[in-house]
Homo-oligomer: A and B are copies of this chain.
């Protein structure tokens, strides 16, 4: 970060207040002319010539129309020019121990570049260390009005993933989000910091208020992250756009509980659109809070996940992950051939039988019965008595 010229930091800080998240024209302008000139143009101190208008349109993949989208955008941004005070915003962040991360910084998460033209202008970050991105990061998201089932599952998943060295990303909201952050903080993190909250408001604000204590703890032992500057309030638009950051920063997005319509589904669709793995936790068909998860499973947008190991598997091959096949007691007939299964079924448990009778009952030749009995005897499944053969429990 120290290598990034102050002018770039200040310009991106200012642009992030002037321009709403995912404002395509603002992002295209910054890509086309760089953040410093982009700010000058956005604030009217550098004129936007016809040539630039064409370049921005081209960057957006649009044909030039009767009225330039850049001219429209300049008009849109104008009312906020008077609010710009990037030095003050950076000082606020500094006081909170935070820093501004920009694409020009060495610690910019490469995962965000997958957003292409929708990549944020900068990230306002509170928390120690470099923010994680990619491979060992899992988003756990879901309903605000979670059920006790959803809470319990979220706690198990978060703890299991943090124990495997993953960082848990969520949105800092009530319900599933809070349960995921809290469980991650409780476990503490192995190597990586345990959790990261991606906010729809400034990182100096604790929203929702009931989560203030938790959000302060995250800022101390994890990360609070936002693309909007300090003081910004959370709006519906910012919540929706915030979801794309959660998806982009994580290698897997898991929806633990969600109603048929839920912001968590929006995050899942962002993740799928980025080619990231998406998991959904199943639940009761009677629970409205699982309807959104089942919807994702049904339409093939998500993979069914039931524990931390299955999610770790989705995150990609590490080599250290265990398969999810549970340990199941071997059954007597495991590995037997079909004739030997038929023979085993024909052997009485509480009486004895003859080779001729076994042949008829099992539907095998006497030769097959004799060969099979030898194999079952060796396997400890058949016992020879003076009167005939009986089944032996292994």
Contacts and interface: CB of A to CB of B under 8 A. Distances in A.
Which applies to chain A's interface (DSSP): helix, strand, loop or mixed? Answer: helix
Interface core residue of A235, A261, A307, A356 (most chain B CB under 10 Å): A235
Nearest to A75: B365
Contact of A298 (B19, B304, B331, B368): B304
Given A261-B328, A326-B260, A356-B79, A20 B342 contact: yes
B367 A75 contact: yes
A366 B149 CA distance: 48
A149 B83 CA distance: 57
Interface string A1-39: 000000000000000001110010000000000000000
A282 B297 contact: yes
A303 interface: yes
Interface residues of A, number: 58
A381 to B, nearest CB: 13
Interface in A341-389: 341-342, 344-346, 356, 359-360, 363-368
Given A283-B284, A342-B20, A360-B83, A305 B310 contact: no
B235 A345 contact: yes
Interface string A289-306: 011011001100001111
Given A260-B328, A306-B294, A333-B236, A363 B282 contact: no
B363 A76 contact: yes
B78 A365 contact: yes
30 contacts: A20-B363, A23-B363, A72-B365, A76-B363, A76-B364, A76-B368, A78-B359, A79-B366, A82-B360, A83-B360, A149-B284, A153-B285, A153-B286, A235-B342, A235-B346, A236-B341, A237-B342, A237-B345, A261-B331, A282-B282, A282-B283, A282-B290, A282-B293, A282-B294, A282-B297, A282-B304, A291-B306, A294-B304, A297-B304, A298-B304
Interface of A: 18-20, 23, 72, 75-80, 82-83, 149, 152-153, 235-237, 260-261, 281-286, 290-291, 293-294, 297-298, 303-307, 310, 326, 328, 331, 333, 338, 341-342, 344-346, 356, 359-360, 363-368
